[in-house]
Each structure stands twice: as C-alpha cells, then as structure tokens.
Structure 1
C-alpha cells in the first residue's frame, strides 16, 4: 500500500518519457544484488541503455569527465544515492545542456533533485523511515506504467531479499510466493530465491565490478527462475564463497573484538575476497542488538561495512560522520558502508559517537 501511495506523487510520465526517449542513454547502477536486479528489470523493457556498475555514489572528477565525454541524452542513477553528489550533478547538467537525469533510489535523501529540474524517485519522500529496496521501486514503477513485468517478479524479490527489505515489502514477497510457490516458503521448490541472491552476491564477491556486469547481463538474458539454477558458473562461484565464509566465521570467533560496554563488535577480515558486506550481514543474524563493524584493507584504503539490525544505532549516520574528511560513508539506518584512508581516526570517531 505504501508503494502505491508513494507512486501517486511521482512523475511517472516523466520517467517513462526519459526511458523511452531516443539517443544515447546511460544507466549507472549500484554493484550489489539489489542494483543488478533493479537494473535488469529496467533493461528488460529498455535494452538500449549502456550500463555502468559503481560501488557507491561518489562521482570522482575522472568519472564525471567520462560521463560528459559520452554526451548522453539520458542518465539514470539506479540504487545510487547520487543526490549526495548534487553539486557534481549540477555540473553534469550544466555541461551537457539538455540531458535528462533521473535518480531512482531508496537510500537516505540528502537533497531533493526534483527542485533542480531532475527526476528524483525515492520512497523516503513519503516516509523517512521506510526501507524499500530499489528492485521493489523499479518493479512497481513498471507495473503501474502497465509494462508486463509480473513474470519477472522473482527478480524483484531476489533484490529485496538480498537487501533485507522484508518488513516494508511484505505484499510484494507474498505475491511472489503465490506466483512461484515454494520460492520463498518451506514448500518444495526446485530453487529458492534466497539461494539465487547468494549466487549473485558470490559473483560480485569473486569478480567485483565485472561480476556485477555479468550478473546484470545474465538477469537480462534469463526468462525464468530455472535458467539461474542451470548456470554452472554461478553455482561454482557460490560454492567457493560459501567455503570462504565458513573459514572467516571460524576466525571471527577467535579474533573479533567485543566491546560489551558499547554494544560494539569490530573485526578485521584478511581474505582476498571482497566479502566485508556479506560477513557483516551474517554476523548481524546472530548479534542483532550490537553495532557490527567489519573492516578490510584494500588498495584504496579501509573498506568498512557497518550493521545494527535492531536499528538502535543509525549506522548510516555513524558511517557518514566517522568518515568525514578521511573518505566517504553512509547508507541506511541498519546497514551502511565506508571507505576511509585512516582507520584509527575512523575508529576513534565511532567510539566517541556510540
């Protein structure tokens, strides 16, 4: 019901006109499962977009110039809180002239870009506390616009599951279970959507942005849920990541730093895989009331995943404040991420704020 009410205030005609328009079109999407699934739904009906996966909302000068050099007529940011880079968006709009820019997102809103002549869609305009993944937003937009998207409801559900959007997407998930019996429940089924989410996540974990691009290509290509289960490469990636997770969780039990006075758990991953987010989420399943901070050293600095399943601590705000001046960070109330150069400074800020 929330989505239907929210969409009443959305410029749906403007979105459809932008998606259907001719010319050069770019799709900038988040390189996680929700980003892949929401983008796949869009590209099922508008395949002429050039997709570019991104790890976050930061628009570096180099990427800004890349976008400008392509001279696009339309740019869609999907599952990317591009409004956090609103100054860069204004530069983009000014230098490209008549370009249409649309943001279809569900992260915490920093600035309403509708006021700057762009299309900005986010369920949080209706309710600040709502958590509706981009896959559900994109599905509902296409559904209201009368596109035959119901046969791809399973793609939307996979994105919702991967992004832990259960609470505010109950109707969508219930509809998916009715359409594909056993895909979400304990009923017998050839394939569970939770496993599909894990397989796609494993692809990103092992191959990074290339994995995010391959995952999107596969979802656009596949017509049914059965197609996913037949893909050997996806199954192999899933098994490799599963074994790595088991090893890391065993090490977590031995070396994690438990700070009971602050309800805080800190752990450093030394795996070669890009796996901080997966481990943070898995730990949260056991420690729902604690703030979980998982860090991993990368070439760019410290990659950090933050979780607090209870929502008692807003880790989105925590990540943003703790990374100020030393990197970038942000996200949702229960789930967030950061990339910083100075871990010790980040840690001190976290301890001060909690």
Structure 2
C-alpha cells in the first residue's frame, strides 16, 4: 500500500510509549497471527517492549464478549488486526473506555468507524484483496523492519490465499529461503509443496481445539524466532506441531469420506458436506476440495448441540460468498446472534441448529 494510506497506523504506533498498556486482538488464523507478531515487533522497536496482551476473541466470533471487554477496559491502546468488528461496536468501545484504537484489516466493511485510526485498502478499492499480514509488513517498512519481518508475513499470505495479490513478497524471500520455497511460487505450490508452506500450515491454529491457547503458542514461537530456521527450536512450536499431526490424521480421514457423503445440487453447482470432528477443520476441508472444482460452491458444515458453523469456498469467485452467506441467514436467526460474511471466494456463517434448514433453502434460492 502507498505510504499515505498507511499513515494512520504509522502515526499511532510512533506515538506508543513504554508506560502504556497496549493490547492486540486478532483473527484466529495464520494471517491474524502473523499480523499480530509484526505489529508487536514494531511496538518492541518503538518503545522497547511488545504488546502486553495479545489474543483472539473469546468466542471465535466477529464481536467481543464480556471477557474480552474485561481485558480491554484496562488498556490504554487497543489494536484490532484482521478482525472485522462493526463500526458501531468500535465506537462503543471508545465511548465506554478511555483508550485509543487502531484497526488494520482487509475485509469488506459497512462504514469507517469514527475516532479510530483505520487502515484498510478496501477504503480506496472495494474489490482489492491484500491479506492483513502484507499490509502490516508494509507498515513495518516505515520503521526499517520490513526485511527481517518478511518471512512472517509470507506465512500469513499463504494461508489467506493471497499469493496472487503480492507475488513480489515471495520473490524477495527467495535469496534467504530458497531451499524452503518451490520453483513455481504459485498459491498451490507454496501452500502444498514446500517446507515454507508446511511451517505456515502448522502454525495456522484455526483448526485446532482450544484455539485461544494455540494462538498464544504460535504467537510466542514467532516472536522468539529471528528467522524461519529458528522456528523448530521453540518449545511453543513443538507443542503446536504435536497437535498438527493429530489433526492431519483426522483431516485425511474426512477427505476420504467427502465424495461419498456430500450432498450435491448439480443445477446450482453447490455441494453441502457435514462432518463430525473434534477439530475445527471445516474451513480446511472446504479450501482443499474447492481448489479441485473452482466453479463449484463448497459449504462444509460442523455442528454441535448449540451451534452450526459453515465454511464456504468458491475459488472462481463466480458468486460473492460473503454477501450470500450473510443474506441467507434467517432474520430471526440474526436476532438470536447468527453471523455471516467474509470475502468473495471464502466466507463463513454460524447460527443455532434450528435455523440451518431455512438457511440452506435461502442460500440455494439466492444462488439461483
């Protein structure tokens, strides 16, 4: 991004002082984790120490819970990364607590929150797609840290399917990390066929049980490492890796069942697939299967007694999934806390189980 568009974040971080209590809340995927590490390392450069509190939201939802508020009310500054809070909620935080807020994001948004230092490339181009970790890397250049933090941003970009939007990032990584990278630096090759992508997958805590705990471990492993070669030496990384191996076994088993157990609507080119797993792997399954049939819409569903969670993918972008998933939610479901949204090619939704049949019917009608 151009320097002028990054100015709100640069000025916010430049003014951070050692005596201030600063917290970061970020999305529960690798893009969010990488973004939090980059911004925390900038804070360390500016004021001598990183953020005191770094976390994903308590409920893995795009709103803040009472427990989140208990943490925030004691802060001087809050930094929101890759996490699409509504403008009304952001402004309410300013009203309720005496703090300053920086938001760096790349999702579509309704309106810009007033009183918040705000950086989002979609403010200037609604169709642009640049992962948050790449935006944070551009911010780090203003502090002379871009070269040493590039490898961290690359991890976030791979897992957020952003390789095509910033190819120069991986060209610049080649000199130092050549043996970890594939010959062809495409999204598919970087994600699936190289050591660099494997590290990125391991630290992508989105599928793991107790993701709040593993988000902290991933953050600490990256904060303690000055390069990719140091990652495996970190105890926090080894703890994440053990769970990754367990998750991979579950993931492969689910993939074997996908063809047989999926529900196919051939007229609309939509696939529904319900899975039962202790891991949050619906988004990983959706991504894996959608790359094989990019014109099809894949909706992968995980449910428990209290909630249905849906991950949607359509790699061709022939529909706007973020918009469709949001519009398909029954009105009553929204009144009871249902949420939906995301990007054009990748989005999600959650609701109480009773509303899923109506959601499903609404979705098919909207696609048609």
In structure 2, the CA distance between the partners of 1:109 and 1:21, relative to structure 1 (3 Å rule), is farther
Task: Give CA-to-partner distance per residue, 1:171-201, whole Å, 9 cap, x none.
Answer: 11221223321333239xxx72210121112
Q: How does 1:266-305 map to 2 (within 5 A)?
A: 266-305=272-311
- Any conservation in 2 of the 1:158–1:194 contact (CA below 8 Å)? yes
Task: Give CA-to-partner distance per residue, 1:219-242, whole Å, 9 cap, x none.
Answer: 111222122234433432232222
- Any conservation in 1 of the 2:29–2:205 contact (CA below 8 Å)? no
Equivalences, count:
342
Q: Partners of 2:183 and 2:123 in 1: how far apart?
A: 35
In the alignment, does 2:96 pair up with 1:95?
yes
Q: Which deviates more, 171-180 or 160-169?
A: 171-180
Q: Partners of 1:129 and 1:6 in 2: how far apart?
A: 20
Q: Partners of 2:256 and 2:4 in 1: how far apart?
A: 45
CA drift of 1:32 comes to 0.8
TM-score by length of 2: 0.86
CA drift of 1:296 comes to 0.4
Q: How does 1:4-83 map to 2 (within 5 A)?
A: 5=2, 7-8=4-5, 10-20=7-17, 22-46=19-43, 47-54=50-57, 55-60=60-65, 62-63=66-67, 65-67=69-71, 70-82=73-85
Q: Partners of 1:64 and 1:238 in 2: how far apart?
A: 27
* Structure 2 stretches lacking a partner, 5+ long: 44-49, 185-193
In structure 2, the CA distance between the partners of 1:348 and 1:18, relative to structure 1 (3 Å rule), is farther
Q: Which deviates more, 284-293 or 47-56?
A: 47-56
Q: Partners of 1:344 and 1:136 in 2: how far apart?
A: 38
Q: Partners of 1:229 and 1:213 in 2: how far apart?
A: 16
**1:183 aligned partner:** 180
Task: Give CA-to-partner distance per residue, 1:136-193, whole Å, 9 cap, x none.
Answer: 01011011x1332312211100000000001111111221223321333239xxx722
CA drift of 1:282 comes to 0.6
In the alignment, does 2:219 pair up with 1:216?
yes
In structure 2, the CA distance between the partners of 1:286 and 1:199, relative to structure 1 (3 Å rule), is same
- Any conservation in 1 of the 2:311–2:347 contact (CA below 8 Å)? yes
Q: How does 1:118-133 map to 2 (within 5 A)?
A: 118-133=116-131
Q: Partners of 1:78 and 1:208 in 2: how far apart?
A: 17
CA drift of 1:19 comes to 4.1
* Structure 1 stretches lacking a partner, 5+ long: none
SS at match of 2:303: strand
Q: Partners of 1:319 and 1:182 in 2: how far apart?
A: 41
Q: Partners of 1:324 and 1:123 in 2: how far apart?
A: 31
CA drift of 1:335 comes to 0.5
CA drift of 1:249 comes to 0.6
**1:263 aligned partner:** 269
Q: Which deviates more, 291-300 or 26-35?
A: 291-300
**2:230 aligned partner:** 227
In structure 2, the CA distance between the partners of 1:238 and 1:71, relative to structure 1 (3 Å rule), is closer
Q: Which deviates more, 194-203 or 243-252?
A: 194-203
Q: How does 1:136-155 map to 2 (within 5 A)?
A: 136-143=134-141, 145-155=142-152
**2:167 aligned partner:** 170
- What is the alpha-carbon root mean square deviation over aligned residues? 2.3
Q: Partners of 1:299 and 1:28 in 2: how far apart?
A: 28
Match of 2:342 among 331, 348, 352: 331
CA drift of 1:64 comes to 6.1
In structure 2, the CA distance between the partners of 1:167 and 1:236, relative to structure 1 (3 Å rule), is same
Q: Partners of 1:111 and 1:324 in 2: how far apart?
A: 23
Q: Partners of 1:24 and 1:275 in 2: how far apart?
A: 35
